[in-house]
Amino acid sequence: MKRCIAAFSDRSTQIGQTFSFDDVYERIRENGDKPLLIIFASDYDNFSLYAGLFGDRFPDSQVIGMSSFTSSSSEGLGQQGLSALAVYDGIECAGGVLEEAGRCPIMYRKEADKAIAALGINDSDKGRVCCLGFTTAFGHCEEPVLDTLRLAAGKLDIPVFGSTAGVRRGTERSCVSLNGELYEDACVFMYIRNTAGRIALLRENTYKHTDNFVLITGVDCERRIVSEINGRPAAPYMASLLCTDVPVFSKNTILHPIGRIYDDNIYIADADKVGNDGSVSFFSHIYNMSRAVLLEPDDANACCKRMIGKVKETGITPSFSIAVNCAFDFDVFSDKGYGKDFAKHLSDTVGCFAGMSGCGEQIDNIHVNKTMLLAVFE
């Protein structure tokens, strides 16, 4: 029996079809009846069906998943279908749910407390424990969820690694699941201890900085709206830096993220839309009087090579990995014909992996966009 396997199928192209699940189920069962952990991702339309089937077929396993724009693994990649990673030994895990994520997830902090206690996580686990979290989209809830997990961890060093779920195309509907149960306003999480070795969490931006460094001078943090940059209305000022006008900028906000600068690191925030008052809303929180920089697309091939290089720098021989990519990145990779190549190059480096793409990424207690993440398990 292998320690872990990845499975992928894109045969279910219509709502209610189970072909993709049947393929993945048989692949998992071939390696053993009771995986300790299954991580899965699928298109939104069939997600609830797959979640229920996983819960029914694997009642003794921990099963966590999210709706995804793209499902990928070392076995394949597609915008429809199902990918899964099944781990059979060498880990211990405990999960839970933070409900009402868009309103007050801290009310459910006890769920994280219980999972930490169940594993008996302590200081000696540093470097071999992480928390995997999948959060539903468009609730402005990522930062409150991360704050809740940070409070539950207390003085323990438990890094968080995760994704905001992908939505049904043309809507704001997304889903996450834990052990067969479906949630539309929640974060499902899983604390994982690697008893076989270390865990490395890696991050690579897919946009690079320009020479336009700025200071954020007016913010509505709760609504993620920036009203002023360098003391000027945000949208006209950003448009002027891009040598364009506001109408053109407002149609292409997704192409012009900014980088929040903390501790000399750049964390990407995607622009959403321009308000009538010249403000700009973002998909991640930006704080008042913080430094930032306008960004431009980096070379997709170079980004992927840097990520693969970071894996080698860890000195870890990967047993399995979990990959998270922004949905927009996959669109760019696909446009350049690099999506499948990247999946193959990643597989050559990390071996068995499963991946998902959603509306945002979370690492080191920070919510970001347009970022590649990788959790590598020794």
Q: pLDDT exceeding 90 applies to what percent of the chain?
A: 80
Q: Which residue has the higher pLDDT, 378 or 364?
A: 378
Q: Which band of pLDDT confidence, cut at 50, 70 and 90, is reported for residue 335?
A: low
Question: Residue 156, CB half-sphere, CA atoms under 13 Å: how many?
Answer: 27
Residue 250: the pLDDT is 94
The DSSP 8-state label assigned to residue 300 in this structure reads: H
Tell whether the model's pLDDT for residue 283 goes beyond 70: yes
**Mean pLDDT of the chain, nearest integer:** 92
Q: Domain extents for the chain?
A: 4-204+300-377, 217-297
pLDDT at 336: 57
* pLDDT score for 339: 60
Pairing assessment for the beta strands 291-297 and 258-262 based on DSSP bridges: antiparallel
Taking the C-alpha atoms of residue 320 and residue 351, their distance in angstroms, rounded to an integer, is 6
Tell me how crowded residue 198 is: count the other CB atoms within 10 A of its CB: 14
CA distance 278 to 261: 23
Q: What is the rounded distance in angstroms from the CA atom of residue 260 to the CA atom of residue 268?
A: 6
- Per residue in 227-266, pLDDT (tens digit) is 999 999 999 999 999 999 999 999 999 889 999 999 889 9
Owner of token pair 């052990």? 179
Where does 136-264 show beta strands of DSSP type E? 160-164, 176-178, 181-183, 186-194, 199-205, 207-220, 225-229, 232-233, 258-262
Q: Work out the end-to-end distance of the chain between its first and last CA atoms, rounded to an integer number of angstroms.
A: 17
How far apart CA 151 and CA 128 sit, in angstroms, is 20
What pLDDT score was predicted for residue 43? 94
**pLDDT digit string (tens) for 19-71?**
999 999 999 999 987 999 999 999 999 999 999 999 999 999 999 999 999 88
Query: Looking at this protein, which amino acid is placed at residue 142?
Result: E
Residue 338 has pLDDT above 60, yes or no: no
Global pTM value: 0.94
Instruction: Give pLDDT, residue 267.
Output: 96
333 pLDDT band, cuts 50/70/90, is: low
H helix intervals, the chain: 19-31, 47-57, 109-119, 142-153, 234-241, 246-251, 300-313, 327-335, 339-350
Percent of the chain surpassing pLDDT 70: 96
Residues 6 or more apart in contact with residue 247 via CB below 8 angstroms: none
CB-based contact 362:161 (threshold 8 Å):
yes
Q: What is the pLDDT of residues 88-119, one digit of tens each?
A: 999 999 999 999 999 999 999 999 999 999 99
Please return the burial class of 244, using the count of CB atoms within 10 Å of its CB with bins 0-12, 13-18 and 19+.
Answer: middle
Return the top range by mean pLDDT from 68-82, 204-218, 294-308, 339-353.
204-218
Other C-beta atoms within 10 Å of 160: how many?
Answer: 22
Q: Is the confidence at residue 6, as pLDDT, over 60?
A: yes
Query: Residue 281 above 90 pLDDT?
Result: yes
How long a stretch of residues is the chain?
378
What integer pLDDT is reported at residue 260 of this predicted model? Answer: 96
Residue 90 near residue 319, CB atoms below 8 Å: yes
Do residues 198 and 158 make contact, with C-beta atoms less than 8 angstroms apart?
Answer: no
Single out the residue of 150, 96, 114 nearest to residue 365, CA to CA.
150
- Residue 39 is predicted with a pLDDT of 98
Tracing tokens 């000696």 back to the chain, one arrives at 124
Is the model's pLDDT at 303 over the cut of 60?
yes
Q: Does residue 331 register a pLDDT over 80?
A: no
- Tell me the two tokens of residue 132: 């995997």
